[in-house]
Structure 1
Amino acid sequence: MSYRHTIYTDRCKGCGLCVAVCPKQVLEIATELNAKGYFPAYQARPEDCIFCSTCCIMCPDVAISIVELAEATA
């Protein structure tokens, strides 16, 4: 199974809760502002993500999602 991790940067206010709880230290706070004037979180090391969803649970703004991708059938 494969998964997709998405951070909706326009929803993120850069509180850093997701960064603090990530067990693999995948997330960091960006140095560029989003449309609302916040520094959003981003995946600095996406290859290290284990898709545990801890970041999704902690995000007070529901700005992070992890979804299972449908497998291609031949």
Structure 2
Amino acid sequence: MAIATDRCKGCELCVTACPHHVLELDQAVVNALGYHPVRLVDPAGCTSCVLCARVCPDAVFTVFAPRKEARS
């Protein structure tokens, strides 16, 4: 997942929508718009369900398909 934090307005819609609770607002950062942007706190917990991207009014998320494990 990639997050365009420069466009995030900190509305928390994605934080609320995430069923795996892997997103939170980064209280230590203020972007150029004057907001605390969202950050991914647990990349391993993200299942690429894209609910965050679907609810985001500012289209800050780019969600990639989860990696498939190599078979041996």
Structure with more relative contact order (C-alpha pairs < 8 Å, separation 6 or more): 1
2:23 is aligned, of 20, 27, 35, to 27
| Deviant stretches of 4+, over 3 Å | none
2:12 is aligned, of 10, 16, 35, to 16
Distance, in Å, in 1 between the alignment partners of 2:64 and 2:41 is 19
Note the residue ranges of structure 2 that are not aligned, 5 or more in a row: 67-72
Aligned to 2:64: 67
User: What amino acid maps onto 1:67 in structure 2?
Assistant: F
Q: Normalising by structure 1, what TM-score? A: 0.82
**Greater fraction of residues in strand:** 1
Aligned residues: 66
Checking the alignment, whether the CA contact within 8 Å between 2:3 and 2:61 is kept in structure 1 is yes
Checking the alignment, whether the CA contact within 8 Å between 2:26 and 2:36 is kept in structure 1 is yes
Checking the alignment, whether the CA contact within 8 Å between 2:48 and 2:64 is kept in structure 1 is no
Q: What fraction of aligned residue pairs are identical, expressed as a percent?
A: 43
Note the residue ranges of structure 1 that are not aligned, 5 or more in a row: 70-74
TM superposition shift of 1:67 = 2.8
Q: Normalising by structure 2, what TM-score? A: 0.85
SS of structure 2 residue aligned to 1:67: coil
